[in-house]
């Protein structure tokens, strides 16, 4: 399972310097990962720590249609995209999601980020069929934020734990090995105990080979209000980029397609400057300045959105 590592970067942050006057520009090295905001900002729950404030009523971004996704998939061939990711909101709220995944798996590997609550028996059966007929992996990343009902539901809402665990159990019964994705909301000193807690709970629910990915929390959106947001000095400066392998940054290897065009990364779709064009090619041609504080988290931890470290450091 994947833990959060102490960042392997040297950064002499001058806490007194506060916000940099100029932000580093990051160009797309290769479009390895194409994300889809497939259910827009619509979600069946409203987690306390959501970094884009998704909810049942947030219509800033709408569902994507199969046709829209198909257009981007076609365009992605020429650009040599390696993997596809689907997020939201809650992707399984989109009624076309199964057709979208089936189509995508003809192009390449797909990963879906879900809260697991809408994984009804027929949905999971179909997912298993779709996965079996492709040479590519279909990864299901299921979000959970506590290993007890009390811990999880305090963040994700009442009744979520039971439904998510039922969804996970169904996935496991159909041969999936979901990646349980946990946003870190505890202190470092508790790492070991929390991990043990998750392993025990998952095994007790029938998941004998649990895969766990722990994400750093992104202190924007609703999470800024839940925790403390970022400190004034937590920005990426040009100086910090010296000797840093920029290919670790999502904006150097990914873009996200939405109902409103292509944005720089899955984290920043609500930022005004994050829209980079209507097509992948347009969005690939322009670089992005790391002017947001969430960029600081990405800088410190690297490739936080991908499943695992599929592309290692440059050597």
Partner 1 sequence: MFKKIALFGGVYSNYLALEETIRDAHRRGAEALFCLGDLGAFGPHPDRVFPLLREYRIAVVQGNYDHSIGNGLDDCQCGYTDPRDNYFARISYRYTFAHTSEENRRWLKQLPTEIRLQLGPYRVLLCHGSPRKMNEFLWESTTSTHFLEKLCEDYQADVICATHTGIHWQRALSGKRHFVNVGAIGRPANDGRTEVWYTMLSLEDGDRLEATFVPVSYDYQRLAHEMRREGLPEEFVETILTGWWTTCLEVLPAKERRRGRF
Binding residues for partner 1 (CB under 8 A): 1-3, 5, 30, 32, 76-83, 107-109, 131, 135-139, 175-177, 209, 211, 307-315
Pairwise CA distance, residues 9 & 140, whole Å: 30
CB-based contact 186:154 (threshold 8 Å): no
Cα-based distances in Å from 314 to 137, 242, 244: 25, 14, 10
Contact 219, 49 (CB under 8 A): no
* Cβ burial, residue 94 (10 Å; 0-12/13-18/19+): buried
User: Which residue number, 204 or 309, has a Cβ lying nearer to partner 1?
Assistant: 309
CB 226, min distance to partner 1, A: 25
**What minimum distance in Å lies between the beta carbon of 301 and partner 1?**
10
Tokens at 34, concatenated: 């194409």
Residue number, 210 or 266, with CB nearest to partner 1: 210
The CB-of-310 to partner 1 minimum distance in angstroms stands at: 6
CB of 80 to partner 1, least distance (A): 3
- Least separation in angstroms between CB 5 and partner 1: 6
Of residues 44 and 306, the one with the C-beta less far from partner 1: 306
CA distances from 208 to 176, 195, 199, 277 (A): 11, 15, 9, 44
CB of 87 or CB of 253, closer to partner 1? 253
- Report the candidate in 231, 239, 190, 248 with the shortest Cα–Cα distance to residue 7: 248
- C-alpha to C-alpha distance for 222 and 116, rounded to whole angstroms: 21
- State the nearest-atom distance from the C-beta of 27 to partner 1, in Å: 15
Q: How many angstroms separate the CA atoms of 85 and 202, rounded?
A: 24
Residue (3 or 159) nearer to partner 1, CB: 3
* Residues in the chain, total: 315
- Cβ closest to partner 1, residue 144 vs residue 220: 144
């Amino acid at each position: 399972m994947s833990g959060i590592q102490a960042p392997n970067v040297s950064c002499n942050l001058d806490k007194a310097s506060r916000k940099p006057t100029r932000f580093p520009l990051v160009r797309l090295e290769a479009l390895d990962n194409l994300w889809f905001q497939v259910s827009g900002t619509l979600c069946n729950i409203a987690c306390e720590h959501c970094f884009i404030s998704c909810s049942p009523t947030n219509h800033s971004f709408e569902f994507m249609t199969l046709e829209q996704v198909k257009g981007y998939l076609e365009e992605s061939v020429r650009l040599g995209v390696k993997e596809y990711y689907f997020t939201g909101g809650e992707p399984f709220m989109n009624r076309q999601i199964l057709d979208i995944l089936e189509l995508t798996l003809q192009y390449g590997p797909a990963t879906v980020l879900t809260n697991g609550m809408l994984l009804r028996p027929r949905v999971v059966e179909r997912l298993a069929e779709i996965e079996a007929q492709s040479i590519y992996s279909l990864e299901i990343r299921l979000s959970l934020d506590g290993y007890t009902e009390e811990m999880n539901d305090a963040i994700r809402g009442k009744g979520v734990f039971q439904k998510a665990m039922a969804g996970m159990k169904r996935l496991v019964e159909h041969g999936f090995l979901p990646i349980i994705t946990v946003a870190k909301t505890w202190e470092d000193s508790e790492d070991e105990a929390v991990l043990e807690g998750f392993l025990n709970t998952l095994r007790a629910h029938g998941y004998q080979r649990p895969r766990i990915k722990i994400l750093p929390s992104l202190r924007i959106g609703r999470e800024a209000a839940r925790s403390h947001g970022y400190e004034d000095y937590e920005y990426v400066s040009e100086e910090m980029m010296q000797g840093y392998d920029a290919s670790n940054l999502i904006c150097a290897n990914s873009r996200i397609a939405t109902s409103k065009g292509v944005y720089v990364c899955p984290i920043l779709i609500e930022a005004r400057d994050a829209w980079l064009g209507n097509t992948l090619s347009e969005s690939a041609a322009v670089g992005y300045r790391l002017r947001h504080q969430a960029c600081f988290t990405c800088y410190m931890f690297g490739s936080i959105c991908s499943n695992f470290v599929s592309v290692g450091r440059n050597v």
